[in-house]
Amino acid sequence: MILKQLTTFGALITTAVAWLPWTDKGVVSRNGTNLFASSGGKIRGVNLGSQFVFEPWIAMQAWSAIGCKDEKSEYDCVAKLGQDAANKAFARHWKSWITRNDIDEIRRYGLNTIRIPVGYWMMEELVRPGTEFFPQGGIDYLARICEWASEAGLYIIIDLHGAPGAQVPKNAFTGQYAEKPWFYVDHEYKRALRFLDWMTTIVHTNESFRNVGMLEVVNEPVQNADETTSLRSSYYPDAFRTIRGVERKLKVHRKDYLHIQMMDKLWGSGDPHEHLTDDYYAAYDNHRYIKWDANVRVSKDNYISTSCRDRVGSNWPLLVGEWSLGVPEDIQETPDWKPFSNKDFYKKWFAAQVMAYEKQQGWVFWTWKTQLGEFRWSYRDGVAAGVIPTDLNSVFEEDVCR
Ligand X SMILES: *[C@@H]1O[C@H](CO)[C@@H](O)[C@H](O)[C@H]1NC(C)=O
Q: Nearest distance from residue 115's CB to ligand X, in Å?
A: 19
Query: By C-beta, is 18 or 37 nearer to ligand X?
Result: 37
Verify binding: residue 208, ligand X, rule CB under 6 A.
yes
Q: Nearest distance from residue 171's CB to ligand X, in Å?
A: 28
| The one-letter amino acid at 104 | D
Question: Which one of 8, 83, 136, 206 is in contact with ligand X (CB under 6 A)?
Answer: 206
Query: By C-beta, is 28 or 318 nearer to ligand X?
Result: 28
- Catalytic choice (74, 188, 220, 247): 220
* Total residues belonging to the chain: 402
Tell me the per-residue interface mask from 24 to 43 with ligand X, x by CB under 6 A, - otherwise.
-----x-xxx----------
Residues 246 and 196: their CA atoms lie apart, in Å, by 9
Sign of the CA dihedral running 127, 171, 100, 215: negative
- Catalytic choice (71, 216, 247, 322): 322
Question: Which one of 79, 91, 139, 296 is in contact with ligand X (CB under 6 A)?
Answer: 139
Query: By C-beta, is 91 or 139 nearer to ligand X?
Result: 139
Residues 142 and 122: their CA atoms lie apart, in Å, by 9
For ligand X (CB under 6 A), the number of binding residues is 10
Question: Which one of 125, 207, 226, 329 is in contact with ligand X (CB under 6 A)?
Answer: 207
Query: By C-beta, is 153 or 362 nearer to ligand X?
Result: 153
Verify binding: residue 211, ligand X, rule CB under 6 A.
no
Verify binding: residue 140, ligand X, rule CB under 6 A.
yes
Verify binding: residue 295, ligand X, rule CB under 6 A.
no
CA dihedral 47, 51, 57, 58 (to 10 degrees): 50
Query: By C-beta, is 143 or 385 nearer to ligand X?
Result: 143
Query: By C-beta, is 29 or 83 nearer to ligand X?
Result: 29
Q: Nearest distance from residue 46's CB to ligand X, in Å?
A: 18
Q: Nearest distance from residue 29's CB to ligand X, in Å?
A: 6
Q: Nearest distance from residue 90's CB to ligand X, in Å?
A: 16
Query: By C-beta, is 35 or 231 nearer to ligand X?
Result: 35
User: Which parts of 69-108 interact with ligand X (CB under 6 A)?
Assistant: none
Verify binding: residue 136, ligand X, rule CB under 6 A.
no
User: Which parts of 143-182 interact with ligand X (CB under 6 A)?
Assistant: 143
Q: For this structure, is 220 an active site residue?
A: yes
Q: Nearest distance from residue 87's CB to ligand X, in Å?
A: 15
Q: What is the set of active-site residues?
A: 220, 322
Where on the chain is the footprint of ligand X (CB under 6 A)? 29, 31-33, 139-140, 143, 206-208
